[in-house]
Amino acid sequence: MSSGYIWAIIGLMAVANFLVRFPPIAVVSRLRLPAPLMRWLGFVPAAVMGALVAGEVLRPGGEYLITPRSPYVLAAIPTALVYVKTRSFLGATLAGMVFFVAFRALLG
């Protein structure tokens, strides 16, 4: 892999990621939004997370893996409980990794 290729991707990713983040904030915060649009925006965060979690847990690596023997499915449940108990993002992430390694080892 050439160094120029890597640098080009780093540079363009930096620009692209700023462009998806900044204009919506700069423009929308200067407008008065109609109520239905505000209501829609209120549902966006939960919807995005729901879609992300489902994809990561039930289609890890882009392949369906929907079985009770999936370490992704099994680890998801105690991870959720740890977050509910502790309200710590870092704690839940680390606990999730431990549960995942344990279930993967158990299921061979």
Whole-angstrom Cα distance, residue 92 to residue 90?
5
Q: How far is the CB of 94 from other proteins (least distance, A)?
A: 6
Q: How far is the CB of 68 from other proteins (least distance, A)?
A: 16
Nearer to other proteins, 68 or 87 (CB): 87
Nearer to other proteins, 67 or 93 (CB): 93
Q: How far is the CB of 86 from other proteins (least distance, A)?
A: 9
Which letter, b or e, does each residue of 54-90 get, where b requires 16 or more Cβ atoms within 10 Å of its Cβ? Answer: eeebeeeeeeeeeeeebbbbbbbebbeebbeeeeeee
Nearer to other proteins, 22 or 106 (CB): 22
